[in-house]
Amino acid sequence: MLKVHNLNVAYGESHVIHDASFLVQPGAAMAIVGRNGMGKSTLLKSLIGMVPARHGSSINLEGRELVGTESHKRVQAGLAFVPQGRLIFPQLTVEENLLTGLETRRYKEIPSFLYEFFPVLKDMRNRKGGNLSGGQQQQLAIARALASKPRLLILDEPTEGIQPSIIKEIARSLNALRAELNIAILVSEQVLSFALEVADRLLVIDRGRIVREADKANLNLDEVRSYLTV
Amino acid sequence: MTFRRGNQAPRRKAVIPAAISIEETFVTFGIFVMQLFNGLSLFTILLLMALGLAIVFGLMGVINMAHGEIMAMGAYTTYLTASFIEHHLPGLMGVYLFIAILLAFAVTFAFGYVLERGFIRWFYHRPLDTLLATWGLSLILQQTYRSVFGAQEVSVPLTTWLSGAWEPTETIQLPLNRIFIVALTILVTLGVWYILHKTRWGLRARAVTQNRAMSSAVGIDTNRVDALIFALGSGLAGIAGSVFTMVGSTNPGTGQLYIVDSFIVVVFGGVASLLGTAASSFLIAQMQTALEYLMSGSMAKVAILLLVITVLYFRPNGLFASKVRA
Ligand SMILES: Nc1ncnc2c1ncn2[C@@H]1O[C@H](COP(=O)(O)OP(=O)(O)OP(=O)(O)O)[C@@H](O)[C@H]1O
Ligand SMILES: [Mg+2]
């Protein structure tokens, strides 16, 4: 469903992503792993349109070319994004944060399953988003993204700065949501155990290049680990 | 502030005699009430001026130097409406003001929308260029007004039911047109609050203000939001301009008089805070009228400017910077 071909991204003169090509199948879950500064965020941000891709790159979602379009058009086309650092709207209440996700109009109101998956959001409905804990903000960011009813959910390091018990909970939620909503997931990670728990296919990114791609079943774990340790 | 002061209480020096008779107590009380009301009236005028600016500057961070000229556009629209109705539909003269306010809003809203789409948006992320470009625009508008309406002042007939004063007691006289402005400002402010906090459109505007890139990444069409915020801010300026025709006359330079006061109010209150804008207008207006009672108008202005500068030194984000951890 998502076909990335020859993706190149640069910040001014500094060329960060080099010729990335990969494919995400409908309903599949793919993880991109790599160390700090290898280009995971840059890659994912270019998919959602927060940083521009270079000329000649192609990002194709179900036959629609997305390069050059604005982020909100890509969300309309079926992408949703949970950024690193979560970036919920701190001055809006939890409920208002969720309402901002309804812009695609695929749901008329906040779907009740969101509160069922993340009960803490229901309890804190009227609190300002900025006053939630890190883990709660992460759940809010995921719920906000799902409120647009995406076909592909993109998450950038969802485990960063979150305690292990909550990490497990987020992994469980993502697996359950994927099964229930029949969406595809693309997630970047440094925590290999989390990546293996949610994804069935792995990409390894190193200095802006995709250096390995394999199904979870026939993965050389030691080799992947060698890319993740300094 | 250079509004016509004809229908305000005459200024008196506060000379309080040693023994005060009951009659004099009433007079003093009357003066006190009228002072309060003058403050309230100036407050609503400042607030009405600052609202549109608070929205455009506070929500979008755009410094629009032509904001005053957009107010003048509202005033001229009112003048044209009054002339038209006076000559063609004299039966409607009693309610022309309501028609004029709506027209002034519509004209300036549309102007703001087109201005944002065709002009302002090319200058985002370049504050200095925005400043220069909108300043240039303000000069162009002033010149246009001069060629169309002439350099002299124009004024509108005061509706009969708004001339005169309400006299609850013998010593208290509250001008009706001022009461009308107070009521209208309350209505407009509540309307703006409602739009920003209770509608989906307002939610989009607040989201874009907090994080533009992320707003787009959750699916909000940020360009449309920008245009509508700018249009609303301009429309509010139009309403303000329309209302000011009741207390002052209009000339091509009128906008310049408004803009300085508006900026002081917005910056003092803290941008992006409607409450701050209201509180700041209130404080400045009450101080100005109180100080004017004791000293000359320009000394009062200087005192207020000094105070604003002092406050901004200690609270650079204004009185009402918000306190949520990000
Ligand atoms: N806005 C920017 N301007 C210039 N260079 C940037 C910018 N953002 C990131 N970079 C550079 O691009 C490279 C990749 O950064 P990126 O944030 O994509 O890495 P990452 O894999 O997400 O790292 P982390 O795991 O720490 O989040 C880094 O060398 C970084 O310094
Ligand atoms: Mg990153």
Q: Which regions of chain A does DSSP assign to beta strands (E)? A: 2-11, 14-24, 29-33, 58-61, 64-65, 79-82, 152-156, 184-189, 201-206, 209-215
- B217 found inside a domain: yes
- B284 found inside a domain: no
Burial class of B235 by CB neighbour count within 10 A (0 to 12, 13 to 18, 19+): buried
> Of A188, A187, A186, A183, whose CA–CA distance to A78 is shortest?
A183
Query: Distance between CA atoms of A28 and B232, rounded to whole angstroms?
Result: 45
Terminal-to-terminal C-alpha distance of chain A: 34
The whole-number pLDDT of residue B324 equals 47
Nearest CB among B203, B215, B223 relative to A96 is that of B203
- B326 found inside a domain: no
Tell me, what's the ipTM?
0.94
Say if residue A2's pLDDT is above 50: yes
Nearest CB among A75, A83, A131 relative to B324 is that of A131
The whole-number pLDDT of residue B112 equals 97
Single pTM value for the model: 0.85
How far is residue B49 from each of residues A25, A41, B30, B46, measured CA to CA in Å?
Answer: 56, 44, 29, 5
* Structure letter (DSSP) for residue A52: P
Query: Distance between CA atoms of A137 and A139, rounded to whole angstroms?
Result: 5
Instruction: Give me the number of domains chain A comprises.
Output: 1
A39 lines ligand 1 (CB under 6 A): yes
Say if residue A213's pLDDT is above 50: yes
From first to last of its 326 residues, what are the pLDDT tens digits of chain B? 344 433 444 444 445 555 667 777 777 888 888 888 888 888 888 888 889 988 888 788 888 889 999 999 999 999 999 999 999 998 888 889 999 999 999 999 999 999 999 999 988 888 888 889 999 999 999 999 999 999 999 998 888 888 888 888 877 888 888 889 899 999 999 999 999 999 999 999 999 989 999 999 999 999 999 999 999 999 999 999 999 898 889 999 988 877 877 888 887 877 657 788 888 888 888 888 888 778 777 787 788 788 878 877 887 777 776 544 43
Q: Which of B209, B218, B317, B322 to mutate: most A Cβ within 10 Å?
A: B218
The whole-number pLDDT of residue A8 equals 97
The whole-number pLDDT of residue B25 equals 77
Candidate from A9, A13, A16 with most ligand 1 atoms within 8 A of CB, to mutate: A16
The whole-number pLDDT of residue A176 equals 94
Scanning B119-155, the segments in alpha helix (DSSP H) are: 127-149
Report the amino acid identity of residue B65: M
Query: Distance between CA atoms of A154 and A151, rounded to whole angstroms?
Result: 10
User: Which of the residue ranges A16-20, A73-77, B73-77, B178-182 would you say has the lowest mean pLDDT?
Assistant: B178-182
Query: Distance between CA atoms of A157 and A187, rounded to whole angstroms?
Result: 7
- B300 found inside a domain: no
Q: For residue B257, what are its two tokens?
A: 């008089």
Instruction: Give me the number of domains chain B comprises.
Output: 1
A147-173 pLDDT tens trace:
999 999 999 999 998 888 888 988 999
- B87 found inside a domain: yes
Contact between A97 and A110 (Cβ < 8 Å): no
The mean pLDDT value for A72-82 works out to 98
H or E, element range at B263: helix B254-269
* Residue indicated by tokens 């410094």: B63
- B203 found inside a domain: yes
Report the amino acid identity of residue B127: P
Using a CB cutoff of 8 Å and minimum separation of 24, what contacts does B301-307 make?
Answer: B304/B264, B305/B264
The whole-number pLDDT of residue B2 equals 41
Q: Does A100 touch chain B (CB under 8 A)?
A: yes
The whole-number pLDDT of residue A69 equals 97
Using a CB cutoff of 8 Å and minimum separation of 24, what contacts does B280-284 make?
Answer: B280/B50, B280/B318, B280/B319, B280/B320, B281/B43, B281/B44, B281/B46, B281/B47, B281/B50, B282/B43, B282/B47, B284/B43, B284/B46, B284/B308
Q: For residue B65, what are its two tokens?
A: 């130097």
Domain that holds residue B245: 44-158+175-253
Nearest CB among B221, B222, B324 relative to A130 is that of B324
H or E, element range at B174: strand B172-175
Domain that holds residue A188: 2-228
Candidate from A18, A40, A87, A189 with most ligand 1 atoms within 8 A of CB, to mutate: A40
Cβ of B207 within 8 Å of Cβ of A103? The answer is no
Residue of A nearest to B211 (CA): A89
How far is residue B107 from each of residues A167, B111, B221, B239, B248, measured CA to CA in Å?
Answer: 55, 6, 24, 10, 21
A158 to chain B, minimum CA–CA distance in Å? 16
Which CATH number does the domain housing residue A181 bear?
Answer: 3.40.50.300
- Cα torsion angle, B189, B194, B199, B203, sign: positive
Contacts of B324 in chain A (CB under 8 A): 90-91, 128, 130-131
Which of the pair, B277 or A24, is modelled with greater confidence? A24
Query: Distance between CA atoms of A142 and A112, rounded to whole angstroms?
Result: 14
A45 lines ligand 1 (CB under 6 A): no
- B113 found inside a domain: yes
Query: Distance between CA atoms of A75 and A101, rounded to whole angstroms?
Result: 10
Query: Distance between CA atoms of B41 and A153, rounded to whole angstroms?
Result: 54
